[in-house]
């Protein structure tokens, strides 16, 4: 890692884990390290830095550059310290006249084929080659000019070895003329990212790094940036550094994209962000990142950002820019007037899974204390609410059971309804690393996701189930495990409710649940289900990772319970390497749930029926809290259409684009008197808003995010809010305009209130987070440094509860008019509704949503690759372009939902999970037919959106 | 919310508990609705049950007697 400007120590080779230690002497100093550690790393731990070029501690050493050679007493020659493991009693000399001379000779050779344009080079001051030349005392290069890779012309002719810079990737360049062929990029691509996009062409002097023979953009490269980070020279260089120069300070913060919650060093120059570099000490990502976190932050300074508050009386008026005071006064008057006329419960709010814990806590506090009701909900309603219900019922808490490190000890991994390489890329890289070490993989997904077949990764079983049949498949797996006697009986006896288990075991053992009996429903060959079930039950540590392909179904909660049943029946809960792991979609969806964003739950998942919990807040906030659950998002919209719900405050959420049945959402919003949207951009929901409060990005505020492993990570302000106010300040000012007297001066004070009132957060403070880097809740007196693994001694609910999971087919059925099943998902380069990633160069990879359709289904409909198609369901229709793919089975079509023009949710149905009303996004019966272009709805929608976004020129 | 949708949602809950013995299922339905449904939705459901809405599953109709009475907002 090029970190000479802002050092983040590089130990040269990865840490080695061993129970045994070895003591040796290096330059006369004694050091004790785990057996297997390299001499280079042992020296680094003493603070002795051995010169190196090809070694870095993110990848295994190859001993190619020979710069790190040392002398070892009693050994011949000068071994490379990066590939030499320590031995007891070894005496190492890192600097002798002999190695000094040899190193200078090595450097001289390197420099003989390297341009000497250091002063104008983008890596100037941040180049390991430059630093090593200094470190070894290189003073002259004696080689006469000859064959080389850096001169464009030689002897009056084009230099055949020269290759021009590859600038095809939007974020970094590849300049072969500066390459020293150290293979660090190739190894990073293989070992860290697991994509194997890079290779080396040619041998010896002809060796050049190649993206598989094409340019970077058209190669397999996923632009994760691991190679750029590994490169010791300017060969792979961030364009932002080329444009801006080297950064001068670094602030540790947390990515605001997916639920992996990667830690980053935001490297700054003044208040300008130069680059984001994943932080090696980050416990979720361990120094890795994806294209979104590392590169796609340009939305923060995109011209579309709204920086001034705006108001209007009706949504057909243009927006009027006003002062913050005027906007708060306007919203407060409208909200209070609505409550006067229609009752206290006629307004509510939606918290954001994009914002910090502190901001979310304040929004629910605003609603419970200042609005005086429980009408608060959050976008988890439409993603992981079934996880909350299902895991709470079976295990006693909605918490995912593991940390991400746990995957390093898994022997069998079952991925169901998730596409980690696209949705949770850094976790996927960690998973693939484990799979390359020999762990087995089972994928249950209607689509052949990348994990099924990738470089050096093969799923042992892909179960391509028909959308909507998760419960049937999982119950069939349970049938195999129970009837073939593969259950973990001791675990069950000790840890679970035995009556419920026996009831469940009897249920799943019924013949109608056998793989053979359910094959007709799921479409998965019975033999494959049996093999997969046996592997899961008997293959060692078995872990389940799942996503929205599990939850967003009418039986979402049932599926989560079926997953929990499988884990309990095989004893795969309560230790590293196993567990039930929900992959959360958004950066802080875990946190927004923790912070009391649901209408029936106070912070810490305490039901509003809980008198003690309510009493705590009632005393602190000096208010009466209703013991009745408030309205959920769909209920708010229904009530709005019915005329009893009139005002809403929506922070960082685009419900018009992300929630089901777009027309229903639109009519609900249109029926309200005061819609306040608090966001970075005029999103789709803002077309129906009366007040727009400009939001701030994660770079502009302090706070915390909680990722999918319950890890509370600090978000640190690296630049001042462009609008003048961080989001928590905006909520506070709105509350105060409505009569509250909040006086938080810093988010740490909000965290103090959270900790003081929420048992699972009792030990959390900014001091602790600064000290530890991060902690996983529960963090309290019993677990002062947090809880990496849940249910270690026993289940949170006491005994684990098996729940019978009867398969109930969704009422969303295919038929003659709608014969295909539509399912939806994400793509790597884009993120959710795309509000951020569409405003970055990431669009180069995914400029529009496409409909994946199997060639057979396409042929019978006269659809060709790239043609416009009409996608129609019982709810509505839209148009998009088709792409032919056998990743989907015949009968299934697939699309992403990143672009508002696509309006995929015009098509999705109104069905929802029985327990939580999480919408059934993943199954819609559709028909696909050729089309000429955008549908009427898309056209009128686009016109209306344009009109709704007009802003009056500022008054003179 | 339309009565059809409300009925559909209540019946979905009843289906999820269908395998439980009658009394247990009825109690579970009522408990679930108490925990997750706001007073407005409960009032609408109780009105449907009182009117003897035929589409309501018999167990939901029985559970209606156990469901917490919503107080006037």
- B70: in domain: no
Residue B71 lies in a domain: no
Q: What is the ipTM of this complex?
A: 0.93
Distance CA A359, CA A704 (A): 9
Q: Say whether A599 and B38 touch across the interface (CB within 8 A).
A: yes
Task: Tell if the CB–CB gap between A345 and B73 is shorter than 8 Å.
Answer: yes
Of B16, B34, B41, the CB nearest to A635: B41
Write the DSSP string, A771-787. Answer: HHSEEES--BTTBTT--
Instruction: Give the number of other CB atoms < 10 A from CB of residue A753.
Output: 18
- Which among B1, B13, B70 has the least Cβ separation from residue A635? B1
Contact in structure between A409 and A789 (CB atoms under 8 Å): no
- At A538 the pLDDT is 96
Cross-chain CB nearest to B15 (options A599, A639, A808): A808
Q: Which residue segments constitute the domains of chain A, with CATH numbers given?
A: 21-119+134-142 (3.10.20.740), 157-301 (3.30.70.20), 310-383+588-776 (3.40.50.740), 385-582 (3.40.228.10), 820-947 (2.40.40.20)
What secondary structure does DSSP assign to A368-386, as a single string? IIII-S--EEEGGGGTTHH
Chain centroid offset of residue A607 CA: 29
Residue B68 belongs to some domain of the structure: no
- For the cut 90, the answer to whether the pLDDT of residue B1 exceeds it is no
Domains of chain B: total: 1
User: Is B56 inside any structural domain?
Assistant: yes
Q: Which residue of B has its CA nearest to A664?
A: B1
Locate the chain B residue with the closest alpha carbon to A915: B13
In a domain, B69, yes or no: no
Q: Residue A664: its pLDDT value, please? A: 85
In a domain, residue B73? The reply is: no
Task: Compute how many other C-beta atoms are within 10 angstroms of the C-beta atom of residue A782.
Answer: 10
Q: Give the pLDDT band of residue B73 (cuts 50, 70, 90).
A: very low
Domain region containing B39:
3-63
B38 close to A (CB below 8 A): yes
B12 within some domain = yes
Helix A662-670 vs helix A633-642: angle between axes, to the nearest 10 degrees? 50
pLDDT beyond 60 at B72: no
What residue in A sits closest to B14 (Cα-Cα)?
Answer: A914
Record: contact A915-B9, CB cut-off 8 A: no
Q: Which residues does chain B have within 8 Å of residue A380's beta carbon, measured at their own beta carbons?
A: none
Regions of chain A short of the pLDDT cut 50 = 1-5, 956
Joined together, the tokens standing for residue A288 give 């890795």
Task: Please name every residue paired with A475 in a beta bridge, in sequence order, or none if there are none.
Answer: none
Q: Which residue has the tokens 């990029």?
A: A185
Report the alpha-carbon distance of residue A138 to residue A779 in Å, rounded: 53
What is the side-by-side strand order in the sheet with A461-463?
A461-463, A440-444, A412-416, A542-546, A579-582
């Amino acid at each position: 890692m090029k970190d000479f400007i802002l050092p983040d120590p590089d130990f040269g080779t990865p840490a080695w884990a061993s129970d045994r230690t070895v003591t040796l002497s290096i330059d006369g100093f004694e050091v004790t390290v785990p057996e297997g550690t390299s001499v280079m790393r042992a020296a680094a731990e003493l603070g002795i830095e051995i010169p190196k070029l090809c070694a870095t501690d993110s990848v295994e050493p190859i001993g190619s550059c020979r710069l790190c050679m040392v002398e070892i007493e009693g050994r011949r020659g000068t071994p490379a310290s990066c590939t030499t493991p320590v031995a007891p009693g070894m005496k190492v000399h890192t600097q002798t006249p002999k190695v000094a001379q040899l190193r200078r000779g090595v450097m001289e050779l390197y420099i003989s084929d390297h341009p000497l344009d250091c002063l104008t080079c983008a890596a100037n001051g941040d180049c390991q080659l430059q630093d090593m030349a200094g470190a070894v005392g290189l003073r002259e290069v004696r080689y006469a000019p000859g064959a080389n890779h850096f001169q464009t012309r030689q002897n009056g002719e084009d230099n055949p070895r020269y290759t021009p810079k590859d600038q095809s990737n939007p974020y970094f360049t590849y300049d072969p003329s500066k390459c020293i062929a150290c293979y660090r990029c190739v190894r990073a691509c293989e070992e860290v990212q697991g994509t194997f996009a890079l290779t080396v062409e040619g041998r010896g002097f002809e060796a050049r790094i190649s993206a598989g023979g094409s340019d970077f953009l058209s190669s397999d490269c996923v632009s994760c940036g691991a190679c750029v980070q590994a490169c010791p020279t300017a060969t792979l260089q961030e364009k932002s550094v080329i444009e801006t120069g080297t950064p001068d300070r670094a602030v540790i913060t947390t990515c605001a994209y997916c639920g992996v919650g990667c830690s980053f060093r935001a490297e700054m120059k003044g208040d300008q962000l130069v680059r984001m570099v994943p932080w090696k000490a980050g416990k979720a990502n361990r120094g890795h990142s994806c294209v979104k976190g590392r590169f796609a932050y340009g939305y923060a300074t995109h011209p579309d950002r709204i920086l001034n508050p705006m108001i209007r009386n009706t949504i057909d008026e243009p927006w009027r820019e006003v002062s913050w005071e005027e906007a708060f006064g306007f919203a407060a008057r409208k909200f209070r007037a609505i409550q006067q006329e229609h009752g206290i419960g006629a307004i509510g709010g939606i918290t954001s899974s994009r914002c910090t814990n502190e901001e979310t806590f304040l929004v629910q506090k605003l609603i419970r204390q200042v609005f005086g009701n429980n009408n608060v909900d959050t976008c988890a309603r439409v993603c992981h609410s079934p996880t909350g219900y299902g895991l709470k019922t079976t295990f006693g808490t909605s918490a995912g059971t593991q940390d991400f490190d746990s995957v390093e000890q898994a022997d069998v991994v079952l991925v169901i309804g998730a596409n980690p390489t696209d949705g949770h890329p850094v976790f996927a890289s960690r998973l693939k690393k484990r799979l390359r070490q020999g762990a087995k993989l089972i994928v249950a997904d209607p689509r052949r996701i990348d994990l099924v077949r990738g470089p050096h990764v093969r799923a042992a079983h892909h179960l391509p189930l028909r959308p909507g049949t998760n419960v049937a498949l999982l119950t069939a797996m349970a049938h195999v495990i129970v009837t073939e006697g593969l259950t973990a009986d001791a675990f069950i006896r000790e840890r679970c409710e035995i009556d419920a288990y026996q009831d469940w075991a009897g249920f799943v053992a019924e013949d109608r649940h056998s793989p053979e009996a359910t094959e007709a429903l799921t479409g998965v060959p019975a033999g494959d289900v049996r093999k997969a079930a046996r592997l899961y039950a008997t293959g060692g540590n078995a872990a389940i990772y799942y996503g929205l392909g599990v939850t967003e179904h009418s039986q979402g909660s049932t599926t989560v319970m079926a997953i929990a049943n499988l884990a309990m029946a095989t004893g795969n809960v309560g230790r590293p390497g196993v567990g039930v792991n929900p992959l959360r979609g958004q950066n802080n969806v875990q946190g927004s749930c923790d912070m009391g964003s649901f209408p029936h739950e106070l912070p810490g998942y305490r039901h509003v029926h809980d008198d003690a919990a309510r009493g705590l807040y009632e005393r602190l906030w000096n208010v009466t809290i209703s013991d009745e659950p408030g309205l959920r998002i769909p209920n708010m919209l229904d009530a709005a259409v019915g005329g009893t719900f009139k005002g809403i405050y929506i922070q960082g959420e685009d419900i018009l684009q992300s929630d089901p049945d777009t027309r229903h959402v639109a009519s609900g919003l249109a029926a309200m008197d005061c819609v306040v949207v608090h966001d970075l951009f005029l999103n789709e929901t803002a077309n129906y808003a009366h007040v727009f409060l400009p939001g701030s990005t994660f770079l502009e505020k302090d706070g915390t995010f909680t990722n999918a492993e319950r890890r509370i990570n600090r978000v640190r302000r690296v630049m001042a809010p462009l609008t003048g106010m961080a989001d928590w300040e905006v909520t506070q000012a709105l509350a105060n305009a409505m009569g509250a007297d909040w006086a938080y001066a810093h988010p740490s004070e909000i965290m103090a209130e959270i900790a003081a009132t929420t048992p699972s957060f009792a030990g959390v403070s900014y001091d602790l987070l600064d000290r530890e880097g991060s902690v996983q809740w529960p963090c309290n007196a019993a677990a002062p440094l947090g809880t990496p693994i849940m249910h270690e001694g026993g289940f949170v609910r006491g005994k684990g509860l098996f729940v019978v999971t009867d398969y109930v087919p969704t009422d969303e059925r295919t038929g003659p008019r709608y014969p295909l099943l539509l399912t939806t998902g994400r793509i790597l380069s884009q993120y959710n509704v795309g509000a951020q990633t569409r405003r970055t160069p990431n669009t180069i990879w995914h400029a529009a949503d496409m409909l994946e359709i199997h060639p057979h289904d396409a042929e019978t409909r006269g659809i060709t690759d790239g043609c416009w198609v009409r996608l129609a369901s019982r709810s509505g229709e839209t148009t998009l372009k088709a792409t032919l793919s056998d990743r989907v089975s015949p009968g299934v079509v697939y699309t992403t939902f990143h672009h508002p023009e696509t309006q995929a949710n015009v098509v999705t149905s109104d069905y929802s999970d029985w327990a939580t009303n999480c919408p059934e996004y993943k199954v819609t019966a559709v028909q696909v037919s050729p089309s000429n272009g955008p549908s009427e709805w898309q056209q009128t929608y686009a016109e209306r959106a344009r009109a709704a976004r007009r802003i009056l020129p500022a008054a003179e | 919310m339309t009565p059809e949708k409300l009925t559909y949602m209540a019946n979905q809950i009843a289906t999820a508990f269908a395998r439980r013995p009658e009394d247990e299922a009825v109690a579970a339905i009522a408990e679930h609705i108490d925990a997750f449904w706001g007073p407005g939705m409960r009032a609408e459901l109780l009105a449907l049950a009182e009117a003897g809405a035929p589409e309501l599953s018999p167990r939901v109709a029985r559970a209606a007697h156990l469901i917490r009475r919503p107080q006037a907002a």
